[in-house]
Amino acid sequence: MRFLFKTDYEDDIRLFPHSGYVVSYGLLLAVLLIAPYLLSSYLMSQLVFVCIYATVGVALLILTGFTGQASLGHAAFLAIGAYTAAYLQKYNVPFPVYFLAAGLLTGCIGALVGFPALRLQGIYLVIATISFAFIVEEILARWESVTNGNEGLRVKALSLLGVTVSRDSPTFYFLCLAVLVLTIVGTLNLLRSPTGRAFVAIRDSETAARSMGVNVALYKVKSFAISAAITGFAGVLFAHKLSFISPEMFTLQLSIEFIIVILIGGTFSLHGAVLGAIFIVMIDPFLTYLKDDLPGIIAGVAATFGAGSATAGNIQSKVAAFASLNGLKGAIYGIIIMLFVLFEPLGIYGRWLKIKLFFQLFPLYKRSTFKRQKIYVKSERNR
């Protein structure tokens, strides 16, 4: 186990507490940079989605994880970013300009949503954000002069410095990765400065935050605006990646997926957003794999255990029928969410920390280190 002896106030401020972090994150970045030359084009495409989802995850973490304001309306922010990009692109606005404009506009709308949200708590806030998302969805479907209604909008490949960047090219992946890394660094910077601490203070006790001089309303609006702006940036990339956008892509379902990203990843650390994004994006190829290969594998296992070829074939077709049942994905989704909330409330990153601690303390690790105290008396109705 490594003990950190702090000798300078810098030790508490710097992003990487010790050299081990520099090495491991450096390695990770190196792997990510050579990934396009190693992975198949399908996996690369999934990796781009991981970057986009992780960016939204970080945005949601700022709002929900650190400021404590739940939102089930982030799909709407993503939509606003995407549509701004698509609309401005039609008028030959260059990419950097509409990229920034999308973020700025989404940020402003986020701030506008933040204002009514000031007076709302918990469940009321959740329903307000859902309502907001519904209204945005309906506007996108009806404001046909701008959004082309339910027909949707085509998004051309983006051009950067006169070069056309196709959505499958490594350059596009690097762009998404850069946006994600910048978002993470910016968020970390925020968290180690007064604004980030004010966010956390609001999450844990608004009364105390106020009595320490935090203008709670202002910081909530700031949190909404930052979160929305980041989601808007991600929306631009999302639009380019899909090359076609329509209102039914930005439904409540998507907002819930974003929440699942941070819930499964872990709501207390930025690692959670990335891990959760990997999980959510990779579950699709994983399920496809199950559908295609699992029946064969199970039949093979059955055959090795002495089942006749007829029985094995029978098993294979039954499993295949089950695996291709409609809605299996939804059921698995549901089960995964419930299992995480029930057994791994700290998410994947929490599990990683536990494993790490287990080896560091071996054999002294005890499970209760991470045990959460249940609060039966503290009502969230009065805050």
Partner 1 sequence: MSYFRAENLSLHFGGLKAVDAVSFAVEQGEILSIIGPNGAGKSSIFNLISRIYRPTSGRIFFEDRDITEEPPYDIARLGIARTFQNIELFENATVLSNLLVGRHRHSATQLWQELLFLPSVRAGEKVHRRRVEQVIEFLDLEPYRDKLISGLPYGVRKVIELARALCSEPRLILLDEPSSGLNVEETDDMSFWIRDMKSELGITVLMVEHDMSLVNRVSDRVIALNYGRVLAMGTPAEVQQHPDVVAAYLGA
Partner 2 sequence: MLDFVQQLVSGVALGCVYGLIALGFVLVYKATEVVNFAQGDLMMLGGFFAFTFIGMMGLNYWIGFAGAVAAMALFGMLAERIVVRPILGYPQFSIIMATIGLGYFLRSVAGMIWGTDDFKIETPFSQGVLRVGSLVLAHDKLSVIAATVILCTLLWLFFNKTTLGTAMRASSENMLAAYYMGIPVKRVVSIVWAISAAVATCAGVLLAPITFIHSNVGLVLGLKAFPAAVLGGFGSIPGAVVGGVLIGVIESMAGFYLAEGWKDVAPYIVLLAVLLLKPEGLFGLHARKKV
Binding partner selected for residue 368 from partner 1, partner 2, none, CB under the kind-specific 5 to 8 Å limit? none
To partner 2, the closest distance from the beta carbon of 382 in angstroms equals 4
Residue of the chain from 100, 108, 157, 256 that contacts partner 2 (CB under 8 A): 256
Write down the residue that tokens 């309502």 correspond to. 131
Our finding on whether 194 is near partner 1 (CB under 8 A) is yes
The reply to whether 44 sits near partner 1 by the rule CB under 8 A is: no
Which does residue 215 bind out of partner 1, partner 2, none, counting CB within 5 to 8 angstroms by kind? partner 1
Give 94 or 149: the residue with its C-beta nearer to partner 2: 149
Shortest distance (Å) from residue 66 CB to partner 1:
10
Q: Which does 164 bind (CB under 5 to 8 A by kind): partner 2, partner 1, none?
A: none
Alpha helices for the chain (secondary structure H):
10-13, 19-34, 41-60, 74-90, 95-117, 122-142, 144-147, 170-191, 194-204, 206-211, 216-242, 252-265, 270-304, 309-323, 328-343, 347-361
Output the smallest distance, CB 188 to partner 1, in A.
8
Given a contact cutoff of 8 angstroms between Cβ atoms, the answer to whether 332 and 290 are in contact is no
Question: Of the two residues 15 and 338, which places its CB atom closer to partner 1 in the complex?
Answer: 15
103-132: contacts with partner 2 (CB under 8 A): 116, 119-124, 126-128, 130-132
- Kindly state whether residue 24 participates in binding partner 1, applying the rule CB under 8 A: no
**What single-letter amino acid sits at 118?**
L
Angstrom distance (rounded) from CA 215 to CA 196 = 13
Site stretch for partner 2 (CB under 8 A), options 30-38, 216-224, 297-305, 327-335 = 327-335
Q: How far is the CB of 121 from partner 2 (least distance, A)?
A: 8
Do residues 212 and 85 make contact, with C-beta atoms less than 8 angstroms apart? no
Distance between CA 96 and CA 100 in Å, rounded?
A: 6
And the tokens for 38? 């190693």
How many angstroms separate the CA atoms of 324 and 217, rounded?
A: 50
Question: CB of 237 within 8 A of CB of 175?
Answer: yes
Q: Is residue 329 within the footprint of partner 2 (CB under 8 A)? A: yes
372 touches partner 2 (CB under 8 A) = yes
d(C-alpha 144, C-alpha 149), whole Å: 4
Q: Which residues bind partner 1 (CB under 8 A)?
A: 9-10, 12-13, 186, 189-190, 192-198, 200-201, 203-205, 207-216, 222, 226, 268, 373
